[in-house]
């Protein structure tokens, strides 16, 4: 869960409501059972529901949900630093249109 430890309880409760199963929170880890009442939850289902929960709590722009084998991770999105554009002067007309300016 990383930086979302403060709202981990809210995430676990929302995920529990959406998946209609008992979801437990242990430190930085949210535990979702494989099966509940005959239903089987796949990693893809948990990832999709977790994305919906993050969107509902307004964290979808800052965090991504990634999967690795049987684990789902919430990772902060790294902001890309764009290089500053250089301000310059436009080239003279003699360089851009040499045919008209001999």
How do residues 26-76 score in pLDDT, each as one tens digit? 888 888 887 777 777 888 888 999 999 999 988 888 889 999 888 888 888
pTM for the structure as a whole: 0.68
* 99 assigned to some structural domain: no
| Structural domain contains residue 42 | yes
Report how many domains make up the chain. 1
**Structural domain harbouring 6:** 2-76
Decide if 64 is inside a domain.
Answer: yes
Asked whether residue 88 is assigned to any structural domain, the reply reads no
Residue 84 counted as domain residue: no
Contacts of 9 (CB under 8 A, 6+ apart): 25
Residue 94 lies in a domain: no
Does a structural domain hold residue 90?
Answer: no
């Amino acid at each position: 869960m990383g930086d979302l430890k403060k709202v981990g309880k809210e995430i676990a409760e929302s995920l529990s409501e959406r998946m209609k199963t008992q979801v437990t929170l242990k430190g930085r880890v949210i535990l979702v059972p494989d099966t509940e009442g005959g239903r089987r939850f796949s990693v893809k289902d948990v990832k999709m529901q977790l994305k919906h929960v993050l969107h509902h709590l307004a964290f979808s722009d800052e965090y991504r949900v990634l999967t690795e084998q049987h684990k789902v991770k919430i990772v902060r999105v790294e902001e890309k630093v764009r290089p500053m554009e250089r301000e310059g002067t436009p080239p003279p007309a003699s360089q851009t249109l040499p045919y008209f300016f001999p």
